[in-house]
A and B are shown apart, each in its own frame.
Chain A
């Protein structure tokens, strides 16, 4: 391991923060007026304001989920959260025009460098709104729309109106209602028919302020025969008070289209991460979620796919690392609605230092989904006796021609594997790190190279002190 990594032992690498230089900051707390003010500030059409207000009332009336980590959920202080904070007056498309302190943050996170090397487009969101946005010219020329969501609503209102909230309506759950009420930022992407976006596009979400709530909204539409690979990353400073991240991501893959959505979630340990992600796959379309959860205090996230068209396919790879004080309640859901649909779910989790990881999944086969196939594999590693691992899978099958498998296992690192590596000169800690990296390998190999390297480095840091 590098000296740099060793020096950073026990620290959250992205826990630094900048002084707050907000141009607009709402008082903490949520009310209908706050919701209306956000909408007015953004100059939104009436239909969006109405939807926000309806969603707000739904959020207030709907009880907290009575499943998952109810104790942690009940401890969220919604009145202490800041629901809107604007750090920059406009979204820039040149890093030099981004306010200095914000640019420095993204420099430290390596975003501009990555953009130059291997990205097709970047959105950088700081607090509630995007501060930087760019897309490669060749993609723009092909008709690809890649905007932050606020700009998407302004520039393509009809397209947004047609699809917004169709995959995840505000009434879906309490936190999708909250997001719909106060959403700000996120990405809006439209890929025209037959266009393949070869280089990944990236969104990076950064929370900087204390008690901040980030509620980005992402909508990706891949038209017939097109494809896109979207990558998102997220970090936040470490504070003694909690922040809330509650995003909604909607994916629509039209006939023959393919969307891959990769996430490396590395929030600091004071962030509640309550996210709803769902994709709809039309005929012969493919939706893939590659989902890594390393940080946060509590994550509740179950990327799902509705296989609506015949021959569509879902692929979900989810990994979770739960360290001290963390609960990673992650999983996957697939609804097979149409014939000959297929899905694969692979979930891997590690619990360490009293951390808790849970897999919660749903596999549902409707009566008309003839000949569908699905396989679910969940593996959990527990590194000490203080940790916990749960698996809550649900299979509901209403078609006799369906072929479904689910398997799960919980174990510790094999003594034989450790012995083998140590007999070849590795220390116990290094050996354990290698085994953990290998355990997550099915996930990291699906990530762009730079992300995979970063993730391996992160895991090495997290594994420090795992012995003794």
Chain B
């Protein structure tokens, strides 16, 4: 379906409930501008794009927009003999986008670092984790303040494979991310850990769908958001377990830390279960920083602001503590340390 044929989504759809399509479109919703491609390097070498071919779906409005407004795609294949790929995406134009296709044929890690001073950046990722592969993927958003990012990701995890997914989202001022993972084979596993820091007036809207389409598949999602000043974190999720997916084990947790009277957080962790012999659970919690913890830190010489910063860092760091891949974990922890240390 073409972007211009797709109706502008209604805010009754929970995907668009808190961030309307109008707010994340770079121009006007009725237009489909030609958007230039951002600069992409892998392990320091710039790579060229090709005409987009490998796209999972374009019936959804953000996916259709991203692929039609920029038909170029960068294809990244993780093969044997490649242990880790470090991808840098630099967004220097006022409006730019990048469509990435990842194919993991061998176990390893992919790090994606997004930087740049821009008004609007669009990112689409189509990822394929092939059979018997363990992929560890880390994404860090370091965009300049004032920028808007629209992002759509579709991942497929084949049988006996694992996608370990870590994200640190701290850059930009308005972020709309829609991340969908399809577990398509027996023993396909997703471990997804997302840390969000919303400072000043930053709005970060994550929609995360996990579709169990095969029995004996596993997923674990943790989203931790810290909101200070007028920060606003939104986490909507859909965990679906199809028919005949017995022995599926799935869990979701959304945790929000609210640090100022104007901070806001919304969580909608949805669950749709069509098989009976499964274990599916979700939880959500919102709270402020425990006054006792602040008191404890202050008794040891920290100012209230320093104490709060340490607690927030600890809260977000714990998102990545259980990531197995050393390369991606270290990258995420360093990025977080740089960010909170600023």
Contacts and interface: CB of A to CB of B under 8 A. Distances in A.
Which of A67, A387, A396 neighbours the largest number of chain B CB atoms within 10 Å of its CB?
A396
Which of B12, B243, B274 neighbours the largest number of chain A CB atoms within 10 Å of its CB?
B274
B277 A397 contact: no
B150 interface: no
A388 B272 contact: yes
Contacts of B283: 405-408
Contacts of A412: 276-278
Contacts of A387: 276
B258 A402 contact: yes
B282 A390 contact: no
A392 interface: yes
A411 B12 contact: no
A47 B207 CA distance: 47
Which of B270, B272, B276, B282 neighbours the largest number of chain A CB atoms within 10 Å of its CB?
B276
B278 A401 contact: no
A400 B281 contact: no
Interface string A377-389: 0001011110111
Contact of B276 (A67, A383, A403, A407): A383
Contacts of B227: 400
B267 to A, nearest CB: 4
A401 B264 CA distance: 11
A409 interface: yes
Nearest to A398: B264
A411 B279 contact: yes
Contacts of A410: 271, 273, 278-281
B285 A404 contact: yes
A382 B273 contact: yes
B157 interface: no
B210 to A, nearest CB: 14
A415 B288 CA distance: 40
B272 A409 contact: no
Contact of A399 (B246, B258, B274): B258
A16 B227 CA distance: 58
A395 B278 contact: no
Interface string B274-301: 1111111111111110000000000000
A395 B284 contact: yes
A388 B264 CA distance: 33
Contacts of B12: 66-67
B284 A402 contact: no
B10 interface: yes
A24 to B, nearest CB: 40
B281 A407 contact: yes
A398 B227 CA distance: 11
B259 interface: yes
B288 A409 contact: no
Contact of A395 (B261, B268, B280): B268
A192 interface: no
Interface size band for B: 35 or more
B73 to A, nearest CB: 34
A391 interface: yes
Contacts of B14: 394
Nearest to B289: A400
B273 A389 contact: yes
Nearest to A400: B258
A383 to B, nearest CB: 7
A466 to B, nearest CB: 12
Nearest to B239: A391
A400 B261 contact: yes
Nearest to B250: A410
Nearest to B251: A409
A367 interface: yes
A412 B263 CA distance: 39
B256 interface: yes
A367 B284 contact: no
Contacts of A171: none
Interface in A300-339: none
A383 B262 CA distance: 45
Interface in B13-41: 14
A385 B246 contact: yes
Nearest to A412: B276
A233 interface: no
B50 interface: no
B277 A385 contact: yes
A393 B269 contact: yes
B14 to A, nearest CB: 8
Contacts of B284: 393, 395, 404-407
A406 B267 contact: yes
Contacts of B272: 388-390
Contacts of B279: 409-411
Given A402-B258, A409-B281, A392 B268 contact: yes
Contact of A391 (B277, B282, B288): B282
A399 B282 contact: no
Which of B243, B263, B264, B271 neighbours the largest number of chain A CB atoms within 10 Å of its CB?
B271
A403 B258 CA distance: 10
B247 to A, nearest CB: 11
B145 interface: no
B266 interface: yes
Nearest to A411: B279
A447 to B, nearest CB: 28
B286 A388 contact: no
Contacts of A407: 281-284
B265 A391 contact: no
B260 interface: yes
A410 to B, nearest CB: 4
B244 interface: yes
Contacts of A380: 273
Contacts of A393: 267-270, 284
Nearest to B235: A395
Nearest to B277: A412
A431 B271 CA distance: 28
B261 A397 contact: no
B278 A391 contact: no
22 contacts: A66-B10, A385-B244, A385-B276, A387-B276, A390-B270, A392-B271, A393-B267, A393-B269, A394-B14, A395-B268, A397-B264, A399-B258, A400-B258, A400-B259, A401-B288, A403-B287, A405-B285, A408-B269, A408-B271, A409-B282, A411-B279, A412-B276
Given A404-B287, A411-B278, 14 more contacts: A66-B12, A382-B273, A382-B276, A383-B276, A385-B244, A387-B276, A388-B272, A394-B268, A397-B286, A401-B288, A405-B283, A406-B267, A406-B282, A406-B285
Task: Enumerate the 4 nearest inter-chain pairs by beta-carbon distance, A residue then B residue, closest first.
Answer: A400-B258, A382-B276, A391-B271, A409-B281
Interface of B: 10, 12, 14, 227, 243-244, 246, 256, 258-288
